[in-house]
Amino acid sequence: MSQRISTLSSLNSSISLMQRLQSSIDLTGRQIASGRRILTPADDPISSARAIELRESLARTQQFDRNSAVVTSRLSQEETALAATNDILQRIRELALQANNATVGNEARGQIGVEVRAQLKQLINLANQKDGNGAYMFAGTRENVQPVIQNGSSFSYNGDDGRRLIQIGEGRTVPDGDPGAEIFFRIRNGNGTFAASPAAGNTGTGVVGNGSVFDPSQYDRDTYTVTFTAADTYEVRDSSAALVATSTFAPGDTIAFRGIEFTLNGAPNVGDAFDVEPSRFRDVFSMVSDLADAIETAVFDDISQASLNNGINRGLEDLDQAIGSVLSARTDVGSRLSIIEDQENTNSANAITFQETLARIEDLDYAEALSRLSQQTTILEAAQKSFVRTQGLSLFNFI
């Protein structure tokens, strides 16, 4: 049986083999030089696609960290401003308590009033404070507009209620600030539920004290008037003038009806009235301004002393609500800073995972690559020697 040998086919096959071996050695050499297993997507299409996804995830995580740094800086500035606001309100409260003492004369109270008004200016400055980028902190999204404007004894808010939501993680956003309307202008006066105050023209010395709700199910948020029909007797009527309650009275008693109550000191005269209204929104600046007016009230007799005490008592109740509003805002800011810190830890852990996974996909195992290079080189050398010997063969050598 005869056998035909194709010299050209054998030559081409050998050359092709050595070219493939040389390409493999070249690829391994470039991998060792770069330290990367995948040099082009064609080297490993599936792993390359996964690497692209990981790089995108890592880039997003790094952007989240940059966002977190910006938000943390702004919220920290806001917390500092709110802390200073709280200090001012506490100082004003101390001054009001000092002025509410009957032993303090008109001149001393006048000086106290001057300090209260100076504190009010500082309060306005804080509400109009700018952040490190020159944007108003408490203007909502209208960061280039001064939020608090004073016009005489009235105050207006020129910002909006918007909050910028900044993404700090996958599916997680936090506001980078708070509008001043919520903190400074939406404060319920009185005790936060209702406010009791003497009617204008009272001639007695009745002074309204603290009020509270003892049965929320009874309170209907109506407006009531407590009128003294005698020095020791009063009646309560609602907004429709319907009689709600009658009772006797002694100085220091608690007047209670429809689930609410408040203390009343002093001695009201016949015909004196006290209004009880649902709490309404006021701004802290007007509250402080009214308190300064009350502190500066001149006292000449028991009636004017009662007027002073009523004015300051109302101011103290309002201040407590304002302090509560600032505290609530500070608590919210603190919660957001805590959330950001937790998310930063999560982002850091995710970034490490992404980097480790990416390294496993792309980074080269030097020991394996060097071993492979040695093996490829040996195979190529053997192929080259085999090729040379094969090319030297001839049938004439066997005749």
**Two tokens at 304?**
């004017």
User: So where are the chain's domains?
Assistant: 55-188+318-350, 190-279
Nearest to 228 by CA among 257, 252, 198: 198
- Within 13 Å and on the Cβ side, how many CA atoms surround 296? 13
Q: Which of 311, 307, 308, 329 is nearest to 319 (CA)?
A: 311
- Between CA 184 and CA 289 the distance in angstroms is 14
Q: What proportions of the chain, in percent to the nearest 5, are helix, strand and coil?
A: 55, 20, 30
pLDDT, position 378:
73
- What is the mean pLDDT of the segment spanning 218-225? 96
pLDDT in tens, 95-154: 999 999 989 999 999 999 999 999 999 999 999 999 988 999 999 999 999 999 999 889
Query: What CA–CA distance (Å, rounded) separates 155 from 117?
Result: 14
Cβ partners under 8 Å of residue 95, min gap 6: 112, 115, 116, 119, 295
DSSP for 204-234 reads S--EEEEEEES-TTT-----EEEEEEETTEE
CB atoms within 10 A of CB 388: 10
Spatial neighbors of 214 by CB under 8 A, at least 6 apart, are 256, 259, 260, 261
Average pLDDT, the chain: 87
Helix crossing, 45-99 with 284-295: angle to 10°?
10
Residue 230 φ then ψ, to 5°: -155, 170
What integer pLDDT is reported at residue 49 of this predicted model?
Answer: 72
Select from 286, 273, 234 the least CA-distant residue to 256.
234
User: pLDDT for 10-27, tens place per residue?
Assistant: 566 666 766 666 666 666
Instruction: Confirm or reject CATH 3.40.50.2000 for domain 55-188+318-350, answering yes or no.
Output: no
Q: Give residue-wise pLDDT tens across range 288-337.
A: 999 999 999 999 999 999 999 999 999 999 999 999 999 999 999 999 99
Q: Is the pTM of this model over 0.75?
A: yes
Q: Say what percent of the chain tops pLDDT 70.
A: 79
2 has pLDDT over 50 = no
